[in-house]
Amino acid sequence: MGPRLFHPTSVEYGELIKTLARSKRYASMSKIITQMKEQYPQFSISTDTVCSVIKEYGKHGQIDQAVRIIRKGLVPDKRTYMVLVNGWCSSGKLREAQQFLEEMINKGFNPSVRRRDLVIEGLLNAGYLESVKKMVIKITKEGFVPDVNTFNSLMEAVCKVGEVGRIDEAFRLLHNAIEDGHWPFPSLYAPRIKGMCMRGQFDDAFCFFGEMKVKGHPPNRPAYTMLITMCGRGGRYAEAANYLVD
């Protein structure tokens, strides 16, 4: 046998790995990765290749397999982590997405606020309110600055719980958002107003309503409608009439 005329590089290995992943020939792909690491330990698989493999697994609901590939020695970077997190979310595995996000932060990566918001929104939609609150507190202490989407998602989730006793919590979240310079959606005021009125705290509701206008956060039509409706139910007819012509 003569000398080898062709010596593959990491580029050729990467293309073969991506081709096998697209063809769902995962066992062959895994063997090629092992072969490359054994015969050419100096080679590394590019981020583009790793992300392509993860996406292919994710398309077929096999994101767990993608993680196993990562664990075999492929070094993840920021982009790889975010592809994994997106894969968890699209597969409905939000707990895993949360764990990967925390792992990413612990390893020094700093995902964008929007990326974090996507995970937070997904967890909230799945009913993990308490987990999200703990997560936001934890990452805030580590330097993460929540944006208006984070606050809006949290406030909406608190209100959807349907417990009047949670209004104080929503109220604190809203004030924290405003103090941090955020501009919460006006539609989020109505649930807060309803909660206070249901507890008989009409004066607090009126003060809150007026304070929002003074601070440059004018309530919208749903907020006005809610306040007028609750005033009528609570026998505060004079106030209801005043808000009709406010």
* pLDDT tens per residue, range 203-220: 988 888 888 777 777 777
Position 135: which residue type?
M
> Of 12 and 170, which is predicted with more confidence?
12
- Range with lowest mean pLDDT among 107-116, 117-126, 162-171, 228-237: 162-171
pLDDT value at residue 186:
64
**d(C-alpha 131, C-alpha 124), whole Å:** 9
State the pLDDT confidence band at 164, using cuts at 50, 70 and 90.
very low
Kindly tell me the sign of the dihedral angle through the C-alpha atoms of 52, 53, 57, 63. Answer: negative
Model confidence pLDDT, tens digit, residues 176-193: 666 666 555 566 677 777
State the pLDDT confidence band at 16, using cuts at 50, 70 and 90.
very high
Mean residue pLDDT of the chain comes to 75
Q: Answer yes or no: is pLDDT of 196 > 90.
A: no
**String of DSSP letters for the chain:** ----S----HHHHHHHHHHHHHTT-HHHHHHHHHHHHHH-TT----HHHHHHHHHHHHHTT-HHHHHHHHHTT----HHHHHHHHHHHHHTT-HHHHHHHHHHHHHTT----HHHHHHHHHHHHHTT-HHHHHHHHHHHHHTT----HHHHHHHHHHHHHT--GGGHHHHHHHHHHHHHTT----GGGHHHHHHHHHHTT-HHHHHHHHHHHHHTT----HHHHHHHHHHHHHTT-HHHHHHHHT-
> Of 5 and 38, which is predicted with more confidence?
38
Model confidence pLDDT, tens digit, residues 122-147: 677 667 777 777 777 776 666 666 66
Q: Answer yes or no: is pLDDT of 19 > 90.
A: yes
| Region 102-120 average pLDDT | 69
Locate 151 and state its tokens.
């606050």
Nearest-CA neighbor of 85 among 48, 130, 124, 55?
Answer: 55
Position 48: which residue type?
D
State the pLDDT confidence band at 15, using cuts at 50, 70 and 90.
very high
Nearest-CA neighbor of 29 among 7, 45, 43?
Answer: 45
pLDDT value at residue 41:
87
**d(C-alpha 126, C-alpha 157), whole Å:** 10
Q: Answer yes or no: is pLDDT of 156 > 70.
A: no
- Range with lowest mean pLDDT among 72-76, 107-111, 146-150, 190-194: 72-76
pTM confidence score: 0.47
